[in-house]
Amino acid sequence: MKKLFSFFILIITAFSLCALDSSFDIGVNLSYNAAEEVVDEKVYSGALNLDRLAVGLEMRGNISNFQLTVAGDISILDTQSMMFSGIFGAGISVDLFKYLKFGITTGPKVTYLYRERIKSVDNNGELVEADNFFTELAKGEFHYRLLLDILAGPVMSIGLAYTVPTKFTIDEGNWAEIIPGKENFSQGQVALCIQMKVF
């Protein structure tokens, strides 16, 4: 029943995008995370390190100035481990002059680590048994993404994204943490994004 309902919502959303002043973009991004991170008791420091580069995919759906984004990347931690991370966000996107677009979205981040079997990475960087996707979303810490795109043609844009983490989760409802502070901005992740307009 849940799968049928989700499929129904997806169809309604697709028709809404086609009927309104809307667009759907898909592209790739190259991101670099300079903040210190602990995963499975290993510390990945903030020093300049090419291993901190990650290539990912990004999808953006726009209805007027409202934007939905899914941005994910794959990181190779070692010869036996791969980490999958994705941010599911919603926000606004506005045109600046004629060739620039600025956007800001926020939403939870879900992280999975593959090492023989899939496990999720909790907010303390520890491995736990992977739960269902919606439960993982509720436990995911919210991240803000600041987007600045340059329109390079009728169907292509090149831009930068800066991702700022927070400690807010839907599961804990710790609303005091939803606004990022100075320390959150210092732990950000920068990404180069290339987007192609599908429709």
Q: What is the pLDDT of residue 45?
A: 47
In a domain, 79, yes or no: yes
Residue type for position 118: I
In a domain, 93, yes or no: yes
Total number of domains in the chain: 1
The two beta strands, 127-129 and 117-121, are antiparallel
CATH number at residue 32: 2.40.160.20
In a domain, 165, yes or no: yes
The two beta strands, 53-63 and 42-44, are unpaired
Question: Does residue 40 register a pLDDT over 50?
Answer: no
Specify the pTM: 0.74
In a domain, 154, yes or no: yes
How many CA atoms are closer than 13 Å to the CA of 112, on its beta-carbon side?
15
Q: Token pair of 47, please?
A: 């020093």
Structural domain of 180: 23-197
Q: 86 Cβ partners below 8 Å, 6+ apart?
A: 70, 71, 72, 73, 109, 110, 111
Report which of residues 192 and 134 the model is more confident about: 192
Which of 169, 158, 155 lies closest to 191 in space, CA to CA? 158
What is the enclosing helix (H) or strand (E) of 91? strand 81-96
Residue type for position 155: V
> What is the average pLDDT value for the chain, to the nearest integer?
78
In a domain, 86, yes or no: yes
Percentage of the residues of the chain whose pLDDT score is greater than 90 = 26
pLDDT digits (tens, 9 = 90+) for 144-190: 999 999 988 888 999 999 999 999 999 898 999 999 988 888 888 88
In a domain, 15, yes or no: no
